[in-house]
Structure 1
């Protein structure tokens, strides 16, 4: 495949994943609340369970508070820049198209979660009464009215690169009771989004298919 076609392929692939990721997040954020019950997607083992987190993939953080959040966002921006540079370099070197698809998954996923933290505080109304928006130790005290009673809560900081990441998918399945050390525990308790899934798929493709990608 020609280099220009590979650039176009990567761009279109990233754009499609980003659009799908953001459509799902905005729909969930507009239709569910912090106390909405989980809903089955595929039987009882794969459910929609809306939550928000201040971190990146699967709720990973770099500490709490303003400094940790900014450090995480800056790390994400640097990572995205590095991936873009690497993809451009790989296209020029004529790597296999499948490898570019794997890299596109990772780039799209990282960018999708960055969009949440960068823009969502400007798109959606901030409510300090929502548990997702409360952060102990932030020092940002705000008034909150619950059941007709006004009280102070410590809310997270808001603004560019400080927003939460919207998550909604969860595997609600447990290890069999007889499984040593794991019996009765959830197989994968993290709540995630399409962007997280894209990152995971891209990394797994590289790990599983590395001999094909790096046959030199």
Structure 2
């Protein structure tokens, strides 16, 4: 897969990710929910930290440190992508890296810019390019909206070890398209590990290569 096609994939994913986020941000009030199906809902939330709502303590630099770390990480991922293409590694690896990079950049855009181009979403619709933005540079919040509660409020039998009698929801994470891209890229690396990391001239990925080129 050529570097040009990898960049095109990244651009398309970024465009879709940002269009969806801007639409949600300007048409939904924070925590507003739209039920599409019982197992799929659109729920607008904002994530101030890392995955699963984890935050970096203020004494470690807080939100700014997280954003700067993401910028360094995406720079390293970009070099990894370039190097893999130059060395003609498997398309499994190149596509995976492109997906991970697209997702990382998508969330970085939120963190770097959203705080200074959007107004607050608490109890009101946010305004794009607002006169009174809700934050500052590098302190924006990541917009999440996709919710797939496949099993909701299920109570485990009392006989179930440890968690018996407790209620849980599967899958209860709310995420965005950028997160999906990262998860898909990592998933490809895990499932197709041997093909992805095979040496350039010792692999058999002709069918996959032809489909992408």
What is the TM-score with the length of structure 1 in the denominator? 0.77
2:71 alignment counterpart: 77
1:17 alignment counterpart: 13
Counterpart check, 1:185 vs 2:179: no
Q: 1:113 to 1:35 in 2, by over 3 A?
A: closer
Looking at structure 1, the residues matched to 25 and 98 of structure 2 have their Cα atoms a distance apart, in angstroms, of 26
Which digits, 9 at most, give the CA deviation of each residue in 1:125-152, with x for residues without a partner? Answer: 247x669xxxxxxxxxxxxxxxxxxxxx
| Stretches (4+) displaced over 6 A | none
1:101 alignment counterpart: 95
CA contact (8 A) 1:102 1:201 kept: yes
For structure 1, list consecutive stretches of 5 or more residues without a partner in the other structure.
132-156
Which digits, 9 at most, give the CA deviation of each residue in 1:138-184, with x for residues without a partner? Answer: xxxxxxxxxxxxxxxxxxx8211101111111122337434632753
CA RMSD of superposed structures (Å): 2.4
Looking at structure 2, the residues matched to 122 and 175 of structure 1 have their Cα atoms a distance apart, in angstroms, of 38
How far is the alpha carbon of 1:63 from its aligned partner?
2.7
For structure 2, list consecutive stretches of 5 or more residues without a partner in the other structure.
125-133, 200-213
Size of the aligned set, in residue pairs, is 184
Which digits, 9 at most, give the CA deviation of each residue in 1:50-74, with x for residues without a partner? Answer: 0111124443432358921011001
1:143 alignment counterpart: none
Secondary structure of 2:102 counterpart: helix
CA contact (8 A) 1:57 1:192 kept: no
Which digits, 9 at most, give the CA deviation of each residue in 1:176-212, with x for residues without a partner? Answer: 4346327530113221111111111100110010011
Looking at structure 2, the residues matched to 66 and 124 of structure 1 have their Cα atoms a distance apart, in angstroms, of 27
Counterpart check, 1:174 vs 2:152: yes
CA contact (8 A) 1:102 1:206 kept: yes
Looking at structure 1, the residues matched to 52 and 111 of structure 2 have their Cα atoms a distance apart, in angstroms, of 14
2:141 alignment counterpart: 164
1:148 alignment counterpart: none
1:51 alignment counterpart: 45
Counterpart check, 1:204 vs 2:184: no
Which digits, 9 at most, give the CA deviation of each residue in 1:80-113, with x for residues without a partner? Answer: 0010011111111111223211111100000000
